[in-house]
């Protein structure tokens, strides 16, 4: 999992790495109450690089200009990712820019300290300028000083950069990171240093070990996490079963989902994914489940999805609430039929079509009839489009 810049800088601040006064902005009108002195930088918070060249970083000298710039940034997707947050930060004038990073080297199986005096956007053109120091045993402060010395630094600046590297390594070790980067580390006219941009990537599933990182992950957009990770954060269970499956099942309980899966398989219909909302889900769990299903459909645009089965029984939500959620959710989808299983004890009529894509069933036999029908129709259309 990779953190956004404002999240990385929050960790920097906790470790004593100097960062500029800043504010997290979720709507342009929040800039009216900004307490940071102008001029400021407004920076799109996305996980992709190249945001500066794409127009995702803008400067403003007053509130009116800042609001206008924020409106542009919020509406600007960068490599397909649209920001939900902007970082408003005091503008900083640096005399020099330094590149610093610590990453896990899988070849040597140890952390590597890296640094260059060619920091900022120019680093990609000067990769040969990057100096390295391997941390083959326990980290010692002299390794940070060795890196700074190899970079050609001396005196107070050597001490300042070595101290930053030491603090970076403390974060690297404490939070099980795969990478921590400051690029650039700005150097002022009086040799003070400032982390102007930052990147942090957590190794594997290690973010689940740290409550603070779990809280940061909950703020992250769906696009930055695997669906299994996002489900885990929400106490849901996501399981991908068959790459060729055509059915998505949203259920209350894995046992119920497994029964559904086997019943479908008996009729020649494969299940692609199961999302378990737990034994007694409420409205929030259902909404989160729908978000995950929608994200899966976005990530797999070429996957043939015939039907989504909503098989959730919970005393915390009535049928009308289910259907209202579904009808709202369907407006965000392509034409994928959704079957809602109602409680068999209900007095409502059985199999029926409620809306263009929404079907209500009282028995599993009715669900099977719809699924087989949709699957045959979808297969014919899929083959006709050249996907045979």
pLDDT tens by residue, 198-232 = 999 887 666 667 777 777 766 665 555 677 877 87
Classify residue 303 by burial, with Cβ atoms within 10 Å: 0-12, 13-18, 19+.
middle
d(CA 310, CA 235): 18
Residue ranges, the chain, pLDDT below 50:
345-347, 349-351, 380-388
Distances (CA, A) of 330 to 324, 325, 338, 358: 10, 9, 8, 8
pLDDT at residue number 316 = 77
Q: Report the predicted TM-score, pTM, of the whole model to 2 decimal places.
A: 0.64
pLDDT at residue number 370 = 81
pLDDT at residue number 386 = 47
Within 10 A of 280 (CB to CB), how many other CB atoms are there?
14
pLDDT at residue number 34 = 97
């Amino acid at each position: 999992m990779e953190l956004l810049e404002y999240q990385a800088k929050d960790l920097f601040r906790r470790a004593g790495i100097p960062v500029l006064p800043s504010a997290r902005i979720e709507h342009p009108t929040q800039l009216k109450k900004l307490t940071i002195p102008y001029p400021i930088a407004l920076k799109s918070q996305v996980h992709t690089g190249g945001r500066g060249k794409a127009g995702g970083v803008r400067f403003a000298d007053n509130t009116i200009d800042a609001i206008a710039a924020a409106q542009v940034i919020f509406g600007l997707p960068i490599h397909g990712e649209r920001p939900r947050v902007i970082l408003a930060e005091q503008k900083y004038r640096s005399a020099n820019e330094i590149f610093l990073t610590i990453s896990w080297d899988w070849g040597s199986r140890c952390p590597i300290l890296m640094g260059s005096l060619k920091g900022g956007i120019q680093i990609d053109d000067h990769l040969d300028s990057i100096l390295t120091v391997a941390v083959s045993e326990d980290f010692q402060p002299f390794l940070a000083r060795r890196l700074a010395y190899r970079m050609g630094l001396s005196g107070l600046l050597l001490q300042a950069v070595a101290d930053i590297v030491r603090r970076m390594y403390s974060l690297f070790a404490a939070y099980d990171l795969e990478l921590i980067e400051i690029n650039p580390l700005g150097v002022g006219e009086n040799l003070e240093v400032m982390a102007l941009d930052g990147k942090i990537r957590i190794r594997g599933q290690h973010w689940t070990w740290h409550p603070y990182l779990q809280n940061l992950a909950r703020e992250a957009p769906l696009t930055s996490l695997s669906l299994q990770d996002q489900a885990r954060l929400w106490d849901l269970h996501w399981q991908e079963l068959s790459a060729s499956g055509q059915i998505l099942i949203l259920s209350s309980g894995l046992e119920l989902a497994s029964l559904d899966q086997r019943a479908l398989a008996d009729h020649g219909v494969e299940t692609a994914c199961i999302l378990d909302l737990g034994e007694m889900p409420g409205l929030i769990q259902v909404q989160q489940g729908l978000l995950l299903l929608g994200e899966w459909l976005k990530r797999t645009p070429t996957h043939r999805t015939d039907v989504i089965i909503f098989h959730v029984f919970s005393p915390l939500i009535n049928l009308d609430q289910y259907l209202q959620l579904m009808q709202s959710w369907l407006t965000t989808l392509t034409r994928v039929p959704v079957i809602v299983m109602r409680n068999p004890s209900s007095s409502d009529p059985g199999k029926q079509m409620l809306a263009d894509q929404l079907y209500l069933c009282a028995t599993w036999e009715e669900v099977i009839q719809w699924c087989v029908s949709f699957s045959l129709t979808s297969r014919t259309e899929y083959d006709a489009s050249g996907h045979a």
